[in-house]
């Protein structure tokens, strides 16, 4: 009777008379069953470094392997793999990074930093005039008009101070109000003209004068006495008697 080659070995020939005709599976391959005529390469996500093996070894998290591998490969910087038995690693997503090899997870960018690209090993620091106020950001945000930021890596912008203003977005400095102007509020985009010597802005005074003139005219119209209507007498008019005519002598 014939004798089958054991698992982990195979024999592609016929008519063999000795167990020495059975060949050990090569590294990167395996023979899972006895009496096989060929070996099978290890699937992606598995490997086999030894010869004569009946099975392949699955990779662990942080590693990967291609088909027929004799050893696992660790994920490189900028990539990660959280699952076992995988044939490749994952690129770090935008807003995240991986700074070391054999990583099982990515790391979100900290507040004040961002990353717009995939597969990166670090994050970008927010520029001056910009900010990042949340973790895992894939972009920075320019400071709005009325605010500014002179520092890098900031999580917020500064509002323009009293008597200062900021016109443009993404500003790194605030501007002082020019002579003759001021700003009593913070976070403003412009200044207002100072009051005149009396303490009120010229525009306000002018408007008050016009209002007074209009009110005065209305008051004068109301104060004029209305003309009285002539009433007809209800008494009957007396008839005049004719005067006697003197006779000539």
Q: Is residue 211 pLDDT above 80, yes or no?
A: no
Write down the pLDDT at residue 19: 85
Write down the pLDDT at residue 249: 42
What global pTM score does this model have? 0.71
In three-state secondary structure terms, 20 is: helix
- More confident call, 145 vs 249: 145
Write down the pLDDT at residue 56: 98
CA–CA distance, 130 with 116 (Å, rounded to integer): 15
Q: Is residue 4 pLDDT above 60, yes or no?
A: yes
What 107-113 contacts at long range (C-beta under 8 Å, 24+ apart), as own/partner pairs, is: 108/135, 108/136, 109/135, 109/136, 109/137, 110/135, 111/135, 111/155, 112/153, 112/154, 112/155, 113/137, 113/153
**Domain coordinates in residue numbering, the chain:** 1-90
pLDDT digits (tens, 9 = 90+) for 172-193: 999 999 999 999 999 999 999 9
- More confident call, 75 vs 226: 75
CA–CA distance, 229 with 247 (Å, rounded to integer): 49
């Amino acid at each position: 009777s014939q004798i089958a080659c054991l698992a982990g070995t195979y024999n592609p020939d016929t008519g063999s008379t000795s167990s020495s005709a059975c060949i050990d599976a090569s590294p990167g391959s395996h023979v899972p069953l006895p009496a096989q005529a060929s070996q099978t390469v290890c699937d992606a996500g598995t490997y086999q470094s030894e010869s004569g093996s009946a099975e392949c070894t699955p990779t662990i998290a942080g590693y990967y392997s291609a088909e027929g591998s004799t050893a696992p490969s660790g994920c490189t910087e900028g990539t990660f793999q959280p699952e076992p038995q995988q044939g490749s690693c994952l690129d770090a997503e935008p807003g995240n990074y991986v700074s070391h090899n054999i990583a099982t997870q990515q790391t979100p960018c900290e507040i004040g930093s961002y990353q717009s690209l995939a597969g990166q090993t670090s994050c970008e620091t927010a520029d001056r005039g910009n900010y990042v106020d949340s973790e895992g950001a894939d972009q920075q945000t320019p400071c709005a008009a009325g605010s500014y930021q002179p520092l890098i890596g900031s999580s917020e912008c500064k509002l323009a101070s009293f008597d200062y203003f900021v016109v443009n977005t993404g500003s790194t400095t605030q501007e002082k109000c020019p002579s003759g102007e001021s700003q009593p509020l913070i976070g403003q985009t412009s200044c207002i003209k100072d009051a005149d010597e009396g303490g009120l802005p010229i525009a306000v005074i002018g408007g008050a004068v016009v209002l007074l003139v209009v009110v005065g005219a209305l008051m004068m119209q109301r104060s004029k006495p209305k003309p009285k209507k002539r009433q007809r007498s209800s008494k009957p008019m007396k008839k005049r008697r004719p005067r006697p005519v003197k006779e000539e002598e």
